[in-house]
Structure 1
Amino acid sequence: MAQKAVVIYSGGMDSFTLLNKVHCSGTKVYALSFNYGQKHKKELDYAARVCQTLGINHKVVDISSINSLLAGSALTSEMDMPEGHYEDDNMKQTVVPNRNMILLSLAVGYAVSLGAEQVYYGAHGGDHAIYPDCRPLFVEKMNDVCAIANYEAVSIDVPYLHNDKTEILRDGLAMGLDYSQTWTCYNGREKACGKCGACQERLEAFRENGQQDPLTYE
């Protein structure tokens, strides 16, 4: 019987690459996506289409009601979306308080119910400057907690923790992945804005790999 794993799948580039990587390893993947009230929730439509194509079990969980507790992020409030590179200080406005701890806790509970021993998520080195819950120390401590939080230990696996988006894209291109099946822009409009930190980092990754981004930009 194939090993089971839960993959937190947003529909973006990093989790798309990770999803395919785990799926291609022969692991039975259970994809888990969250509607947390993000402006760019159209990424969930991309996630659903990919999972349907790959024949992967996919759940989308609506936790948008938590926004009454977690204020102050440009991703979920009426604030203007900051523009510029991911490492610019104003990108801290895109932090959703405690988001990854919440998502990982739910994913670990799902894994225990499935009899899966692993939860994967797509944090990477390019996130470290802005997002505390994407840093190695956070992953280490979450692994410590998840080893003792239930009768069944679950590991938090983050294969791209020390890679940047350029390296992740290079890995995906080597797998022959089609990135028109992903959505990255923090603004959930018809076309990607090209100006938010997520778009800037995505475009940079394609440039550094000598490739043209298949998405259409405003």
Structure 2
Amino acid sequence: MIFPNDTPAAGLTRREVLCAATAVAAGPAALKGAGAQGTPSTPAAAADPAPQLLTTQLNVNGRLYDLTADARTTLLDALRERLGLGGTKKGCDHGQCGACTVLVDGRRINSCLTLAAMHDGQAITTIEGFASAEQLHPLQQAFLKHDGFQCGYCTPGQICSAAGMLAEAKAGMPSNVTADLRQQPLLSAEEIRERMSGNICRCSAYPNIVAAIEEVAGGRS
């Protein structure tokens, strides 16, 4: 044991003695990673792998796009950064808020959790594909009528998700609150809230969103 008044060994400073004692106590692994002066060295960070480019044909809102991009490019980033379709929003980027919801072959998905290369040739619908040249989609009209948005950031994902949800209910898919699995689901306010629970509205316009969807659903499947 070394005390403050002890004289260090010849040729060594007290700091060097303490560093050596610490390394010995930590075991061979610490000694192996120690630098020339007996202090632990930091391993070099691994370099990012070189991008692997893939060519994918994306069918977005009825228009074909030939996209050559890194195989790791998400569908969300491809839509926003490569195709210029900024209606699809990046919220949490972890699949937790629903702002990036789009339809793929009619089914709603979180575009931040899937790769663009996985959807070669599939029909992708973003919020830009809902309205015709002169007519809003019924969901868009209902959101305006019922003031179903405030800041509007989550609205594209809400509308895309609502369209997918209505298709699911029409196909007879039950939710966690469906009372009778043998009958066509009735899209009550409770059903709509449950089925839309993956889409977060930070402005808390939920009652208006439910009212808008309920109007389009007509209270029926």
TM-score bracket for this pair, using the shorter chain length:
under 0.3
Larger C-alpha radius of gyration, 1 or 2?
2
- Give the TM-score normalised by structure 1: 0.26
Give me the TM-score of the superposition, normalised by structure 2.
0.25
